[in-house]
Structure 1
Amino acid sequence: MAFNKISRRLRIKRGIRNKIAGTQEKPRLSIFKSNKGIYAQIIDDSNGHTLTSASSLEEGAKLNIGSCKEVGKKVAEKASAAGISQVVFDRNGYLYHGKVKALAEGAREGGLKF
């Protein structure tokens, strides 16, 4: 089952990435979940650079909805310091609920628009 779940997410991820791309004016907010943490990066795909990033491991908090929301706020704070106000959201093949939704809501509360 794990192989099918992983291949399903990667198939969805390829479809999403064919439709969206980050530019200098509107970079891509990409997320990644693991069993130990959640990571968020703001990426400029035209140059291939990560502009800013945040993760739940920086604070040492447990992986739950509250820590995911804090990661979203932290990445939004770093983005505003870098002069970024609008992004394209890349859920990376994950379903938009739970931790992914909490991170997105935290980023919106922090001032990012997507």
Structure 2
Amino acid sequence: MKLSRKSLTRRRHARIRRKVFGTPERPRLSIYRSNQHIYAQVIDDTRQHTLAAASTLESELRQAHASATQEASAKVGQLVAERALQQGISRVVFDRGGKIYHGRIAALANAARDAGLNF
């Protein structure tokens, strides 16, 4: 039986989430990538609370980039890192959301690292 790409992604994400858990000292940087957009959240899993977030749906990024390219993903990474640093968060654990660390996911992660997040 051949599994769909979506179900394989869900399996990978479940496997990752068994190991990756965000604490108040080191929250989880969670990435969701759709075909058109990319979303990033810094989450404290103990309180189930989002501390910082950014996406390509925001007006400032939407005007500059029509779709979620690697450039747009890098801007989202930079923006979420700036917002996390304003909250006093500098160390996070990275949750790639079951996607392969390549392309837009890698661009976002590298931009967040360059902006000051440690993971």
TM normalised by structure 2 equals: 0.92
In structure 2, give the amino acid aligned to 1:24. Answer: P
Output the CA distance in 2 between the equivalents of 1:76 and 1:86.
10
Unaligned runs of 5+ in 1: none
Output the CA distance in 1 between the equivalents of 2:52 and 2:44.
10
Output the CA distance in 1 between the equivalents of 2:20 and 2:103.
22
The reply on whether 1:66 has 2:66 as its aligned counterpart is no
Identity between Structure 1 and Structure 2 (%)? 49
Q: What is residue 87 of structure 2 aligned with on the other side? A: 82
In structure 1, give the amino acid aligned to 2:93. Answer: V
- Displacement of 1:56 in angstroms is 1.1
TM normalised by structure 1 equals: 0.96
CA RMSD of aligned residues (A): 0.8
- Displacement of 1:57 in angstroms is 1.5
- Displacement of 1:63 in angstroms is 1.1
* Aligned pairs, number: 112
Output the CA distance in 2 between the equivalents of 1:105 and 1:33.
16
